[in-house]
Amino acid sequence: MSIEKFWENETPITFKTSKNTVSLFREANKLTISRPDWLATDGTQRQGKTVSMDLVALVESDTDTRREAHKILTFILLQIEKGLINNGTTE
């Protein structure tokens, strides 16, 4: 099975922090989270390890799964908005 290289065919909407890069590939319906870029021994810049979320698979999931995903993602966004996430803990 070949993997579709969506990251080569689309420019994502991206934001970076000191520890992660988050990218939304709208056409491919994928959300990726990467560790920071790093320099290889040959001096080339490499992308950090990356995981992706298939948003189509999420939408096609059962109602309970979608509801739980919504709950988790909403919690994260509210914590960020309120500035309550600090050093891996919430207050």
Q: So where are the chain's domains?
A: 1-59, 61-91
Flag whether pLDDT at 24 surpasses 70.
yes
Flag whether pLDDT at 88 surpasses 90.
no
Whether pTM exceeds 0.75: yes
Burial degree of 53 (CB within 10 A; 0-12, 13-18, 19+)? middle
Give the pLDDT confidence score for residue 19 in this predicted structure: 93
Q: Where are the beta strands (DSSP E) in the chain?
A: 13-16, 21-25, 30-34, 38-39, 45-46, 50-54, 85-86, 89-90
Per residue in 27-55, pLDDT tens?
Answer: 999 999 999 999 999 999 999 999 999 99
d(CA 17, CA 42): 25
